[in-house]
Amino acid sequence: MKVNNAPVLRPENPEPRPLTDFATRFPVTTIGDIAGLTANGATVSSVDVRPGELFIALHGVPRQGPQFGARRHGAEFAAQAVANGAVAIVTDTMGLALARDCGLPIFVMDDPRPHVSELASWAFGNDGRMPIMLGVTGTNGKTSTVHLQHEILTALGRTNALSSSARRIVADTEVTAKLSTPEASELHAIVAYGRERDVEVMCLEVSVQAIIHGRSAGIVFDVAGFTNLQLDHREDFANMDDYLAAKATMFQGGTARKAVVSLDTVAGRTVAQSADCPVTTVATPEIAEDRELAGSAQWIARMTAERVNATAFTLDGPDGQHVATTVPALGAHMVANAAMAIVMLVEAGIPWDDIARVIDGRIPGFLPGRTQPVTTGRGPVVYIDFAHTPDAIEVTAAAVRRVTPGKVIVIFGADGSRDGTKRPIMGRAASRNSDVAIVSDYNPRWEDPDVIRAQLYEGAIEQPPPGGVFNIADPEEALDKAMSLAGDGDAILWCGPGHQDFLDVRGQRVAYDFPQISLDALRRYGWG
């Protein structure tokens, strides 16, 4: 696979679009001469502008730093966009005042932000034929679901693309993700690149921030999936009802042609009832909040066995569909993600017999950073997982417990500049499901890491596990402490890192190879 470190995937041969067409299609006032000029794309980032693209300069550009939350106007960076080859600027009246002397034509709108997706769709030529669009939202399981869809489609020989919090993949090209869901301009660039590569299906992870900030606006999903609702994002919503209402909008207003909704959390019932498109339901009753509700689902997944690096299950559908297979990750929650992935593909029109054939016995592929085992074959097994919510820590630790004959040691941290109310609850979840709990730093960003750890420790120490709770700032020192307490047959669950290869510290991405660090530690402690 070719790895491309470019920030945004773009079509290689875009079709130039006349700016005169733009000026008549959208409610803009044109400042400057646009005769003969064309655009071949659009972006909201002045840094990311490519020659011939529109620069959409928005008010309220977030700039993380010591003044976290401060807002600036994108038009302040017009000179950088000009230097990078922008053909014109789209902005508001405030932006016009800031960029008037930049030397480029300027299109003025009342507020471009709600229209970014529509503008970018035009600029990249996505206002015609589109691939089959699959979108997955929910608190947990989004990344795993889209990656499983990608692996199944690849095994079927279907050219596909995925966009997740881990990676963007289009055909055989891959880049590292920056946001769980790209900005609208980046998303349309990916779609255009996918069309150029004859992509048949696109699998998109859709975060709640993407929904409320319009990053996925303008995309009509052929099938939208809802995984679950758990405690998260209290920094964005007053309560869980508001959080759910934001998620539910993805299934309303013509945004989705079909929906697949998990009934593993009772929020699924609300989503299914409020959706204005046909809904298919799926559930994994053994992990459901309400087993009676889950039992009413049209598709039922049942876990049959767990191993260190895989979970076996059966999936039964409403028309006699049946398959016995294995998901390449640990835990019943991964069964739920696999079931969601499969049922969404069925609803997208992929023949069931074809799907059943390629997943019979085992779903192909690998899930990066999802209960990913690191082992030398001796001593403890280290599991690296993306768990960063109370529920994710709970279900992942419980799954590790079921396949571990000895102790379970949980190392965990929390993202800085994010919801702080869940941190004590994360601490309680880690203590309740471990023999030893170790609080450590993980992506403190611009927040004081001592404060983050104190909040996690506060919850963990309420009912400490038998081996106690430790507060160790440095992640490698935390792993060393876990290794010193672990023996053959034990497990160390490192929650947070998942697929990431860095720690975010005061705006700097510090390189961290978590699997290699774990392997080195195992050898250092004599388990080579």
Neighbours of 209 (CB within 10 A): 14
Q: Could you tell me if 124 and 319 are in contact, meaning their C-beta atoms sit under 8 angstroms apart?
A: no
What pLDDT score was predicted for residue 367?
83
Where does residue 475 fall: left (phi above 0), alpha (psi -120 to 50 degrees), or beta otherwise? Answer: alpha
Reported as type and span, the H/E element at residue 31 is strand 29-31
Average pLDDT rounded to a whole number, residues 295-310: 95
The CATH classification number of 132-158+200-359 equals 3.40.1190.10
**SS3 assignment, position 475:** helix
pLDDT of residue 217: 78
Structure tokens belonging to residue 450: 């001592």
Task: Give SS3 for 259.
Answer: strand
Residue-level pLDDT at 78: 96
Q: What is the mean pLDDT of residues 21-32?
A: 96
Better pLDDT: 370 or 112: 112
pLDDT at 65: 40
- Specify whether the CB–CB gap between 369 and 409 falls below 8 A: no
The per-residue pLDDT for range 138-172, each reduced to its tens digit, is 999 999 999 999 999 999 999 999 998 878 899 88
pLDDT digits (tens, 9 = 90+) for 190-235: 999 999 999 999 999 998 888 888 788 778 999 999 999 986 656 6
Coil, helix or strand at residue 247: helix
Q: What was the pLDDT predicted at 30?
A: 97
201 alpha-carbon distance from chain centroid? 18
Sequential DSSP letters for 282-314: EE-GGG-SSHHHHHT-SEEEEEEEEETTEEEEE
Characterize 104-140 residue by residue with b for buried, 16 or more Cβ atoms within 10 angstroms of its Cβ, and e for exposed.
bbbbbbeebbebbbbbbbbbbbbeeebbbbbbbbbbb
- CA 312 from chain centre, in angstroms, equals 24
With residues binned 3-state (H G I as helix, E B as strand, rest as coil), the percentages for the chain, rounded to 5, are 35, 25, 45
Q: Is the pLDDT of residue 183 over 90?
A: no
Q: Give me the torsion for CA of 442, 447, 449, 455, rounded to 10°.
A: -90
Distance in angstroms (rounded) separating the CA atoms of residues 440 and 494: 10
pLDDT value for 283: 98
Residue 124, pLDDT above cutoff 60: yes
Q: What's 473's DSSP letter?
A: S
Reference 42, options 99, 117, 98, 134; nearest CA is 117
Rounded to the nearest 10 degrees, how much is the dihedral formed by the CA atoms of 193, 195, 197, 198?
Answer: 170
Decide: 21 and 35 in contact? Cβ < 8 Å.
Answer: no
What is the band of 178 on the pLDDT scale with cuts at 50, 70, 90? Answer: low
Reported as a single tens digit per residue, the pLDDT across 72-100 is 899 999 999 999 999 999 999 999 999 99
Contacts of 190 (CB under 8 A, 6+ apart): 8, 9, 161, 163, 168, 170, 182, 202
Q: Which CATH architecture has domain 2-123?
A: 3-Layer(aba) Sandwich (3.40)
166 CB-near residues (< 8 Å, 6+ apart): 143, 147, 177, 368, 369, 498, 499, 500
- Please tell me what DSSP assigns to residue 253: T
Report the DSSP pairing between strands 381-385 and 491-495.
parallel
What pTM was estimated for this model as a whole? 0.85
Q: Where in the chain is the domain with CATH 3.40.1390.10?
A: 2-123
What would the pLDDT profile of 254-302 be if each residue is shown by its tens digit? Answer: 999 999 999 999 999 999 999 999 999 999 999 999 999 999 999 999 9
* 152: nearest Cα among 206, 200, 195: 200
* Predicted pLDDT of residue 67: 35
- DSSP secondary structure letter of residue 231: S
CA–CA separation, 303 and 332 (whole Å): 6
Write out pLDDT tens, residues 414-442. Answer: 988 887 888 999 999 999 999 999 999 98
Which residue has 């396949």 as its token pair? Answer: 403
What's the chain's average pLDDT? 90
Q: What is the fold of 372-524?
A: Protein-Tyrosine Phosphatase; Chain A (3.90.190)
Per-residue model confidence (pLDDT) at position 9: 84
The tokens 């071949």 sit on which residue?
A: 40
Average pLDDT over residues 464-482: 96
Q: Tell me, what's the pLDDT at 212?
A: 83
Please return the burial class of 307, using the count of CB atoms within 10 Å of its CB with bins 0-12, 13-18 and 19+: exposed
Among all chains, which residue has been given the structure tokens 């997740």?
164
Per-residue pLDDT tens digits for 63-77:
444 333 346 899 999
Beta strands in 79-178 (DSSP E): 88-91, 106-108, 132-137, 160-163, 167-170, 173-176
Asked if 306 and 331 count as a contact pair (C-beta separation under 8 A), the reply is yes
